[in-house]
Amino acid sequence: MFTTISTIVKKIGEFGPLILLVTTIILLRNKTTMLTYYILFFIFSILLNIILKSVLQQPRPSIDEKTFNTMLKHKERYVYKHGMPYDIFGMPSGHSQSVLLSTVYIYFALRDVKTTIAYLVVTLITLSQRVIDNHHTILQVVIGSIIGILLGYSGYVLSKKNIQGKLTNKKEDYGPI
């Protein structure tokens, strides 16, 4: 029983960004502008994460120093785990960045307590799984989380500005009542 729950929690942590991405798309499907900004910021977040990892080049805790230095020397960045490319750089955590972006964005977009709590549960599972499974250090998760929060809020603010449009005074705004 405990093994089954542990496996489910681990899978939620591994696929947290995808779970929240798909859920957010479903929840915002009738709010076209908000959905568009969310998707754009999600893609921007992925690209920013790749750039930051390239610049900072901080190793993951699971990559031993000898392998890391050898790969850097040969200008290699990915090892393959279970047939998938696995970046040797860990700063900042892309999973943390993605789940916090989604959680903050959906909170502001919907202002629904139950949805936000569900997102927070997936987010906390994802954050803890990244550290427990030795994919990231606590600092890498914290920095990824901060970036995700900033991106989620910024994306929401820009989407709201676009929805409201540019407000201008009309000639009759100052006329007699």
Got the DSSP string for 115-175? HHHHHHHHHHHHHHHHHHTTSS-HHHHHHHHHHHHHHHHHHHHHHHHHHH------GGGGS
Q: From the DSSP assignment, how many helices (H) and strands (E) are in the chain?
A: 7, 2
**Residue range(s) defining the domain that contains residue 31:** 2-53+91-163
The model's pTM: 0.84
On whether the CB atoms of residues 97 and 145 are closer than 8 A, the answer is yes
* Residue 156 covered by a domain: yes
Residue scoring higher pLDDT (94 or 5) = 94
3-state secondary structure of 92: coil
Least confident window among 41-55, 115-129, 134-148, 162-176: 162-176
Split into its structural domains, the chain has a count of 1
Residue 97 lies in a domain: yes
Q: Is residue 74 part of a domain?
A: no
